Structures are given as structure tokens and as C-alpha cells.
Structure 1
């Protein structure tokens, strides 16, 4: 899971966020995340006929999948400079004709002010970063960017604050003579979840570097998310088999 942090504005982390995580994310987490992205969104993205909106594009897993699975334009929204740098490097390696279909917006979604640019939107691993009030302000911006009848597919935030610390070890990956590793610990912190991620690089002679980055996440139940989205014209799909994800459709005004 891509760790996330909060922004008082509409949708995304501060431009200076992820300065530590950006170096380690792709090598430690992106392969697993790429499989998840393909399994959850590729079939829906392939149906896009107008455009795809990637909200919180990060280093580009949803963006690249969207380019591969669709033939429409892709709008990648990512204000965090560190993550956007990795995204741009990945796009630079693509053939020119494919790259020309991507527009990267270095702003939050409300600042990008997109209007009716897509019929499919994906918000993967980003909603949890918002406190409830800021989260609710995201939905009107998504509604403006989608055409009526368009669909939003999102990964839900954690449903509740953990009763005890939850630890996840990120398997080490070797790059030449060095091994890169990490550990994520999620713990209760009032009304939010404190997520601390420790990263390290070691050689056969011992530890070379250690870094830590800490993020906040705000939990919300599935029913709460559905209710919040309904207030902004979104209707949830009656059949969804994965409790970690939600699909909603923007109602037509007529």
C-alpha cells in the first residue's frame, strides 16, 4: 500500500510530501501494487470512451495501465513533486504517441479544475489521506471532471482505527550489491491512524542507510463513504465482491 499523508485542501498530499518514500516505493511495493491495479481496474478502464482520470497518480501504476488498456486520453493528477518526478521519468520512457495521450496535472484536483474530461475515474490508495471534511470536498471535483453516467472506482480507506499496532514487513529487494527493505507500522492516534514507514539499505558489510517517514490516515466505513458520495450525485453498484474497493456512477441530471 502506498502510504499517504493529509492536505487541508481537496485531494492530495502537499507538494513536498513523499521525499523519502519516493525513492523506495517502486522497488519495495510497486510490483504488488501493479498486480492489484490491473486486477481491480483494468477491465473498467478498457471501457473508457472519453478519457480516464487518475486521482493521486503517484509513480504512475494506474496511469500506465490506463494507457495500455484504453485508447483515450489520460489525466494524471499528482501534486507531490517527489512522486511526480518518478511518474514523469516513467512517461519519458514511453513511445511518443503513447506519451502524447497523457496530461500530468501538478495540482490538487480542485486546482486542476477539470470539467467533463473523463468517463472513468480511478482513485487508488489516496482517499485515506484525507480527514473527513476534506474528503467530502473531493467528490464535487470528481463529479465536475466526469461526464454524467461516468464511473468512479476507488480503494476504500481503512474501516476503523486498529485496536493494536499492525505491522507489515516489506520484503527486501536486491539492487546490485545492496538490499532495500522496509517496515510499515499502523497505530491508533486519536481520530486517525498513524502510519510510520522505516526504510533501509544494507550491504553484506552491514547497514548503509536508514530513513523514516510518517503519515496520517483517517478511517471510514464503506457505508459512510457511500452516503457521502450519494450527497454529490453518485450511486453505488449493487454488486461488489471486494470490501476494500467501491464503484460508483455519477447520475445523469435528467
Structure 2
């Protein structure tokens, strides 16, 4: 039985789209992704004064980095129940002083209804996973959650469908007596990118178990995103060194006093 708190957003059925991947993600990808998010967003979050908004927090690499690099409060938005399990475990292991500055919102940003809680928003590895209608619904929610002059930094989705299947191998990782590994295959299917992840666990006697999980991604060009975001008051900031990252400001960026 679930109790309902008056005034809280309605929570639907648990979103366990990542039920398989949640077990393997940090084991196979977190070390590389932790270095990447620090490289891409550290300077942005370090300059936050009002707060940092982590949209699609996943297992918490951007969230933890934001807590360590800034003194501002952090809002971690993650609707997937499966992904929130490692996220909460990561946060529980942090010192109390860091934990007290982070709030986890178990909804989509639209459902969370946050208003002017941050001057920096990071959207890492998320926009590609939103269907066009869901992506368009995100922008007004983002504009409401940022203070005027706040900045948004997002990782761009693929510009187009892949011409051929793309395979990415996960380097095997050992935990105790078991080795964990797998691979990802990206393919164009019906105007979308089908991303199929295969995971395996091996022991001294061979294969112990294997799992497969499928995700979908939707391509969008930089120009398309800029056009959509402009309708909600976002203006582009200077291009980043990494062409896969787009930075914008909610209205003209504030001038330093």
C-alpha cells in the first residue's frame, strides 16, 4: 500500500527501464564516465551559487562531482527506480556535510515542478533517450527550474541515424572471483536508434549468467535543439571544445559586477 502526501507530485508505477543496466553500469562504465563528466562540466558546476540541477542523474556521477566541486545545493532528478538504487547508495556513502546539500527527486523534471532552484543545469547522457515529444516537454520545465541568466549544459544526441551497426565493447572488470563484461550494439530501426546492451558474468567454471536490455535513442541536430530552446528563452553560449556539448543561457548571461 502506498500513502499519498498532499501536494506531492503523483508517482506512477515504478519505472524500471534500466532494471538490468543498473546492476552493471557502474561496474563497466563509471570510471570512464566519472572522468568524462568532470572534464565536461566541472567548471560549470564550480561556478554555481544558487544550485546545480542534474537532469537524469542516473547512478550519480554528475551529482557527486557537483557536490564536491561546488558549495551550492544540488537537485538530482531521476525518475527510474532502478537507477535511483545505486544513486542513493552512492549518496549514502558520502560525508554528512555533502549529503545534506543534495535532494533526490524521483520524478521527471516536469513532474517535479521545481522553480528557480539552480543557476547551473547539467543534462548528461539524457536528451538522446527522450522521444521528441518528451524532449520538447523538458525545455519549459528547465526554463522554470533555472533562475534568469542561469546556464544549461547538455550532451547532444546523435545527429543522425547510423549507416551501419555500431558496436562498443565494455572492458571486462573483475570483482572477486567473477569477471563482468559485455558490449553494446547501436542500429537504425524505424527512425530511431536501437541500443541493445549485452552483459555477462563469468567465473572459473565459465559463463554464470548473461542479460540483454534494449534502449531507444532519437537523433536531433544542434540546429533543431537550438531552435526549440530559443522558444523558451535560451540563447547559445560560446561553443565548447567538445563538439558533443551544447551550452546555453536562460536569457542574456549576467555580467560580472
Task: Sort the TM-score into its range (normalised by shorter chain).
Answer: over 0.9
User: TM-score, structure 1 length as denominator?
Assistant: 0.92
Residue by residue over 1:149-178, the C-alpha shift from the partner in whole angstroms, topping out at 9 and shown as x without a partner, is 000000000111001000000000000111
2:238–2:247 contact (8 Å) kept in structure 1: no
Q: Distance in 1 between matches of 2:93 and 2:100?
A: 12
- Cα distance in 1 between the residues matched to 2:44 and 2:243: 17
Cα deviation, 1:63-86, whole Å, max 9, x if unaligned, reads 000000000100000010111011
Q: Secondary structure at the match of 2:242?
A: coil
Match of 2:125 in 1: 125
Aligned to 1:88: 88
TM-score, normalization: structure 2? 0.91
- Stretches of structure 2 that go unaligned for 5 or more consecutive residues are 1-13, 253-257
Larger radius of gyration: 2
Equivalence map 1:185-204=2 (5 Å): 185-204=185-204
The reply to whether residue 251 of structure 1 matches residue 243 of structure 2 is: no
Name the counterpart of 1:30.
30
Q: Which has the higher contact order (CA 8 A, sep 6+)?
A: 1
TM superposition shift of 1:132: 1.3
Q: Distance in 2 between matches of 1:103 and 1:238?
A: 30
Offset of residue 239 of structure 1: 2.9
Note the aligned Cα RMSD (angstroms): 1.2
Compute the displacement of 1:226 (Å). 1.1
Partner of 2:11: none
Q: 1:159 matched to which residue of 2?
A: 159
Partner of 2:168: 168
2:9 corresponds to which residue?
A: none
Find out whether 1:68 has 2:64 as its counterpart.
no
CA separation in 1, counterparts of 2:213 and 2:66?
29
2 CA distance for matches of 1:133 and 1:27?
32
In 2: Cα distance, 1:81 partner to 1:238 partner: 36
Supply the distance in 2 between the matched residues of 1:182 and 1:157 (Cα, whole angstroms): 23
Cα deviation, 1:79-116, whole Å, max 9, x if unaligned, reads 10111011111111111121000000000101100000
Give the conservation status (yes or no) of the 8 Å contact 2:156–2:244.
yes
Aligned length: 240
Report the equivalent of 1:179: 179
> Following superposition, which runs of at least 4 residues in structure 1 exceed 6 angstroms of deviation?
none
